[in-house]
Amino acid sequence: MTEKKHRIRIPKENKIRAELQKEIGSNCPFCENSEVGHFEIHHIDENPSNNEIGNLILLCPVCHSKITKGDLNQIDVFIKKIELLNAPIISKPKSEKTINFNSTVGNAVVGDNNKISIKQTKSIKQKYPEGCIGFDTTKANYVGHLIKRYNEYKEYELGKGNVNYAMFNGHLKKQYKIAPTRTIYNLPIEKFEELISYIHKRIDSTKLAKIKGKDHKNYSTFEEYLEEFG
Ligand SMILES: [Zn+2]
């Protein structure tokens, strides 16, 4: 007989939920659906008692069931989580939603056929002020790209599922003396070159980079990245 997994309630669930919601910018990170009635919390490592924020991701019920069915695998979910951890919240084009409803004001008919259209714009806050790396989308994305590459290389060394994706982030923050409530993207833009050459060195010194050898390209330079995505 199989024992049903016991779901332990997440402590301070509302607070955690709010934080996770901010992280995904209120869109499902997999299907980008924003019209989700209730986002669900998924434990990435499938351990319901591991309520570390790094192990939790908010997503829509449809995508959640894809994970349960195995259509979305754990490593893809992990990678998505690192992307979320690494990606600065860049302002996206405002989504417009029109709500139609029928209403009467007093006895008067409002609008045409009682229909009122309200254009609701959801504003997504720019998280990073001018002068820091996060303000420059391309530079910020390149940093995120490098951090992801580092974690992928570490994954080869430690095995899939054994890489703590928040760790390298934490390390970088410590290295650059970033306050706990801020991220590496709060680093002043002048530090960009220094930061990327530091991450380059860290990637080059991983076991996988050493195995691949000196002539192997482990990452695109910023210039190459610009040509590709800029
Ligand atoms: Zn979804």
How many angstroms is it from 137 CA to the middle of ligand 1?
25
pLDDT for 211 equals 86
pLDDT for 89 equals 53
pLDDT for 2 equals 38
How many angstroms is it from 58 CA to the middle of ligand 1?
9
pLDDT for 92 equals 44
pLDDT for 7 equals 56
How many angstroms is it from 32 CA to the middle of ligand 1?
6
How many angstroms is it from 122 CA to the middle of ligand 1?
19
How many angstroms is it from 189 CA to the middle of ligand 1?
34
How many angstroms is it from 165 CA to the middle of ligand 1?
22
pLDDT for 82 equals 78
How many angstroms is it from 72 CA to the middle of ligand 1?
11
Q: What is the pLDDT along the chain (230 residues), one digit of tens a residue?
A: 334 445 567 888 999 999 899 889 889 999 988 888 899 999 887 888 888 888 899 999 999 999 888 888 877 788 788 778 776 554 444 444 333 333 333 333 334 443 333 333 343 345 678 899 988 888 988 998 899 899 889 988 888 777 777 788 889 999 999 887 788 889 999 999 999 999 999 999 998 898 888 888 899 999 998 887 65
How many angstroms is it from 210 CA to the middle of ligand 1?
38
pLDDT for 163 equals 78
* H, E, C per residue of the chain: CCCCCCCCCCCCHHHHHHHHHHHHCCCCCCCCCCCCCCCEEEECCCCCCCCCHHHEEEECHHHHHHHHHCCCCHHHHHHHHHHHHHCCCCCCCCEEEEEEEECEECCEECCECCEEEEEEEECCCCCCCCCEHHHCHHHHHHHHHHHHHHHHHHHHHHCCCCCCHHHHHHHHHHHCCCCCCCCHHHCEHHHHHHHHHHHHHHHHCCHHHHHHCCCCCCCCCHHHHHHHHC
How many angstroms is it from 39 CA to the middle of ligand 1?
9
pTM, rounded to two decimals: 0.50
pLDDT for 215 equals 85
How many angstroms is it from 13 CA to the middle of ligand 1?
21
Domain parsing of the chain, residue ranges: 13-86, 92-125, 133-229
